[in-house]
């Protein structure tokens, strides 16, 4: 019983961390893209 609860909690934590890191990565890449666009003007 307790092991099932722990596994359920770990799976939920994994889903949340995956979603969080994906959002963080998209935000970081978006900022890098904007910075790159500012440094190198489009030809």
Q: Could you write out the DSSP letters of every residue in 10-32?
A: HHHHHHHHHHHHHHHHHHHHHHH
Q: Output the pTM of the full model.
A: 0.52
Q: Could you give the C-alpha distances from 33 to 6, 12, 19, 26, 41, in angstroms and in order?
A: 40, 32, 21, 10, 12
pLDDT for residue 1: 67
Residues of the chain with pLDDT under 50: none
pLDDT for residue 39: 62
Cα dihedral sign, 8-14-17-19: negative
SS3 43: coil
The total number of structural domains in the chain stands at 1
Domain holding 20, by residue range, is 1-43
């Amino acid at each position: 019983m307790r092991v099932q609860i722990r596994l359920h909690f770990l799976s939920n934590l994994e889903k949340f961390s995956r979603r969080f890191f994906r959002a963080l990565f998209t935000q970081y890449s978006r900022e890098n893209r904007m910075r790159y666009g500012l440094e190198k003007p489009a030809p």
